[in-house]
Chains A and B, each alone.
Chain A
Amino acid sequence: MLPKELRESLKDHIANIDHPRELAVDVMFTLQDHYGYLSDEAVKEAAELLEMTPLEVDEIATFYTFVYREPVGKYVIHVCDSVICWMDGYESIKDCLCTKLAINVGETTADGLFTLLPVCCIGYCDMSPAMLINRKVYGHLNPEKIDSILEKLKAEA
């Protein structure tokens, strides 16, 4: 269940807008931040808040890459899987991440810290190969850099 304050603030937010639907993604992100991922329960709550049916919310939720319908780790690594990054060594970056974290693409580490997901172009071609970790960009990646990033995050966790 959502905490009351959060619920009320969302409701206020929605009340101020003509078509509640417009806020669907925002509401989903809020719920996702709260729950860690958008659970079935969260979809139903979002539907209720937005005056939509759970299906309509799920149609949007399953469509977007950054809305997680399945549990993810604390840090979600979106490694860019598009043309420019391919040219600049996406394969090795992905492989490096996989070996470092000892997981495959789409999986979460056993300690629940990292989830590795490929993503279509995130718009940081200038810094390719790039990745996003919890909405923060890391560019010009190489194995050493990845090491240090991961170490840093592990330490923070």
Chain B
Amino acid sequence: MAEALEAIKALATGFATTFKHLFRKPITEEYPEFKRTLPERTRARIILTRDPDGGERCVACYLCSAVCPVSCISMQSAEKEDGRRYATWFRINFARCIYCGLCEEACPTSAIQLTAMFETCERDILTLVYEKEDLLVDHGGKDKEYNFYKYAGVVTQEGGKGEHIKEDKPVNVKSNLP
């Protein structure tokens, strides 16, 4: 009997709670009228950033496309005249993208970054396929300083052999020193 009473009491508490809610002001934020500023690390629309010198950061190493669980990234790498590796084309199909952010984690050059821009709804699904022109921005995104080619040992306009950060002068093969 006590159990039954307890049950009834529990039920009543529940009903009372929901009933009280009827008279409270809804806490909903109404989206298009009210837009909350999202945290910087929100994972939404992807961009390709540039290094501080304005060069494209992406070296088309294929790591993002390899790690992408839905295979929405495709690209073609090539070599520029100055020796930089770059993407001749770079395509993200946002209709497939699940905004998991693995590409950003995989990117060794801080090129691919997710931003808080999430309003990418389109009527024609093909317009959700973004090319490199659409993805490339003219800033460094979250990582303002990094410049991959200043560290990599490869010869580019950023430096020849031995001119990168933390590099010794090239070995002189003919040197008389032992």
Contact = CB atoms under 8 A, between A and B. Distances in A.
Q: Do chains A and B touch in the complex (CB under 8 A)?
A: yes
Interface of A: 62, 65, 68-70, 72, 81, 105-106, 115, 117-120
Nearest to A119: B178
Contacts of A105: 177
A106 B175 CA distance: 9
Q: Chain A at the B interface: mostly helix, strand, loop or mixed?
A: loop
Contacts of B175: 69-70, 106
A91 B173 CA distance: 26
Q: Chain B at the A interface: mostly helix, strand, loop or mixed?
A: loop
A69 B174 CA distance: 5
A135 B176 CA distance: 16
B176 A115 contact: yes
Nearest to A68: B176
B178 A62 contact: no
A81 B178 CA distance: 10
Interface of B: 172-178
Name which of B173, B174, B175, B176 has the most chain A CB atoms within 10 A of its CB: B176
Given A65-B178, A81-B178, A120-B178, 11 more contacts: A65-B176, A69-B175, A70-B172, A70-B175, A106-B175, A106-B176, A115-B176, A117-B176, A117-B177, A118-B177, A119-B178
Contacts of A62: 173-174
A72 B173 CA distance: 16
A62 B172 CA distance: 10
A54 B175 CA distance: 17
A106 B173 CA distance: 14
Nearest to B174: A69
A69 to B, nearest CB: 4
Nearest to B177: A106
Contacts of B172: 70
23 contacts: A65-B176, A65-B178, A68-B176, A69-B174, A69-B175, A69-B176, A70-B172, A70-B174, A70-B175, A72-B176, A81-B178, A105-B177, A106-B175, A106-B176, A106-B177, A115-B176, A117-B176, A117-B177, A117-B178, A118-B177, A118-B178, A119-B178, A120-B178
